[in-house]
Amino acid sequence: MCGIAGWIDWQEDLSQQQSILKDMTDSIVHRGPDADGFWFSERAAFGHRRLIVIDPEGGKQPMLYQDGNYTVALTYNGELYNYLELRDELETLGHSFKTSSDTEVLLHSYLEWGEDCIRRFNGIFAFGIWDERRSRLMLGRDHLGVKPLFFTKRDNGIIFGSELKVLLSHPKVDAKIDRKGLAEVFALGPMRTPGVGVFKDIEEVRAGHYMIITEEKTETKQYWQLESQEHRDDVDTTVSKIRSILEDTVKRQLLSDMPLVSMLSGGLDSSGLTAIAGKEYKENGKTLETYSIDFVNSEEDFEQDFLRRDLDEPWVRKVSEHVGTKHHSVVFGADKLVENLLVPMRARDLPGVGEIETSLYLLFKEMKKEATVALSGESADEVFSGYPWFHQKEFLDADVYPWLVNLGFISNLLSEDLKAKIRPEEYRKERFQEAVAEVPFLEGEDELQAKQRQMSYMFITRFLPFMLDRKDRSSMMTGFEVRVPFCDYRLVEYLWNIPFEMKSIDNIEKGILRRAFEGYLPDDVRNRRKSAYPSTKDAAYLEGVSKWMLRVLDNPDSPILPLLDVEKVRKIAEGKVERITGGQARGLFDYLLQINGWLEEYEIEIEL
């Protein structure tokens, strides 16, 4: 895993632009703390920050292929899980390799198959390839968008990088936000629209897409998409195929030259992956190490609710003992969470979700002390349709994203001027309708099945990107790589067409996955009901963010003030609005504090 930066210009000579490119690359040193690399030509400048995972000596970047008077240069972030098969195929076609890295395989894949190479990759990746023969740039991103890639066009060229801060480090790029960007921030929250970079004139390469850019034109092509067809496999065959794909995926994703561990929450998803990985480790005479997160006084403070039915830690211990892992439980208090609230915002370059993101960052920071790579159960709920919303009519019939149905109260806290200019309710509905228009409905499905397919599409293409952003930025901020086996595109393709009633077989969410993990996990673990990502219940956290919010409201220089109905927010911070629960207030303050910090630290110019 790494961080990439690049600048192409068809008019300006870039061969002497070392200072600018170094600033761009240095901005993401956290993504690659082990090494840096640079390459310059008249038309192109590439930078790279490296986190060593595979082939410490041979995977240095930018990587070049030179033949006579031309060069093909690659800067790449990610892992190709099928690179050994691709390497064997390329060798039969006459290619020779100097390293053992997947980077060189990606480069030679491009040399052999051109832009179609991306259709052969199984992995998580974002890359830029400059081809001097054609004077063109190729930007590519993995199927589900696990790895980020942003770009902006300026004058006669294009600037790209792993994170927004790469672009903002360039002197031609100013931190500006217009009405559309503010609508993203206040109407959609951190679940931004795919392809939108929020900052003015900044975009991202969408998941499953690549771009070909020349001086004359820019082409964006979708190389992967969900395709609807009738699911013909019976239950037993479906379970067997899911199990087979997961076993193959986990085995591939255990490949690392650096220490690898597994995240373990005690829930179905991470427990199942841990069991598969633990078996592989045991067969090779090794012990898998696992990590979980907990909070100070969690037992005393725990309150059962719709999202969290019981404590994770007893289940974590049970799975660890069953699989035979060496387990580490990392415990945090409210003070640590408040202290680090703005770190995820700095990692994203955008406001995030607050405490549950902060705790994830702190967990990765601890894991980094002993390892470089981890497996995560992220995305199982999205691809297996595991949320309750899939069978609740209120959400199936809604004309906005289901996760926004109950979040409209934030709009009521905006200033009247801002509401009039960004029209948050209309913006939500417009973005939702755009997503609906993309859904590949299947002829012959009844109304309920079509609604459930639509819901599945929303979660895979709109909600999952937020979860993957959260995981990538929180982990890479600490120079730590997290792999997500449930995002293997082969699994996602297969699951897409499994009817919801089969996915939820045995009258339980993700019932089909529970059957696939039979034999790997004890029955009570397999049948444990879903429990959301843990969150501190310590009253000191709400007290801390409430006081912080009041300080922001009392400071006339706080940049967020013109955007808010200050008195409404003040009443909530003072605890004078009974209909707002403590949990809602925490989430609200987490987000508003990050917005204020973002506007302030990034010195953002607002254009209304």
Question: Could you count the other beta carbons within 10 Å of the beta carbon of residue 251?
Answer: 15
Q: Which residues in 150-191 belong to E strands, given as ranges?
A: 150-154, 157-161, 176-177
Which is it for strands 44-50 and 2-9: parallel, antiparallel or unpaired? antiparallel
Task: Report long-range pairs for 389-396 (Cβ below 8 Å, ≥24 apart).
Answer: 389/455, 390/452, 390/455, 390/456, 390/500, 390/504, 391/500, 391/504, 395/455, 396/448, 396/451, 396/452, 396/455
The SS3 of residue 206 is coil
- As given in the structure block, the two tokens for residue 577 are 């609005």
Check whether 335 is labelled as a binding-site residue: no
Check whether 376 is labelled as a binding-site residue: yes
Spatial CB neighbours of 362, under 8 Å, sequence gap ≥ 6: 330, 332, 336, 337, 340
Can you name the residues that pair with 292 across neighbouring β-strands?
329
Helices (H), 93-200: 102-113, 164-168, 179-183
Query: Looking at 1, 2, 73, 226, which residue is catalytic?
Result: 2
- As given in the structure block, the two tokens for residue 503 are 């996915």
Half-sphere exposure for 54 (CA within 13 Å, toward CB) = 21
2 is catalytic: yes
| Crossing angle for the helix pair 566-573 and 539-554, to the nearest 10 degrees | 150
Region of 524 on the Ramachandran plot (φ > 0 left; ψ -120 to 50 alpha; else beta)? alpha
List Cα–Cα distances, 93 to 30, 32, 65, 96, 386, in angstroms.
38, 33, 17, 9, 44
* Amino acid (1-letter code) at residue 105: V
Helices (H), 407-517: 416-422, 424-438, 447-458, 464-476, 489-496, 500-503, 511-516
Task: Report long-range pairs for 54-59 (Cβ below 8 Å, ≥24 apart).
Answer: 54/79, 54/100, 54/101, 54/102, 54/255, 54/256, 54/257, 55/99, 55/100, 55/101, 55/257, 56/257, 57/99, 58/98, 58/99, 58/100, 58/101, 58/104, 59/99, 59/101, 59/102, 59/103, 59/104
Spatial CB neighbours of 283, under 8 Å, sequence gap ≥ 6: none
Give CA–CA dist 149/197, Å, rounded: 10
Give CA–CA dist 117/348, Å, rounded: 30
The SS3 of residue 90 is helix
Can you name the residues that pair with 45 across neighbouring β-strands?
7, 40
List Cα–Cα distances, 155 to 7, 47, 142, 215, in angstroms.
12, 20, 28, 11
* Closest to 291 in 3D by CA, of 268, 314, 269, 270: 270
* Amino acid (1-letter code) at residue 298: S
DSSP label at residue 532: P
- Is residue 218 within 8 A of residue 165, CB to CB? The reply is no
Positions marked catalytic: 2
**Binding site as annotated, residues for L-glutamine:** 102
**Binding site as annotated, residues:** 102, 293, 376-377
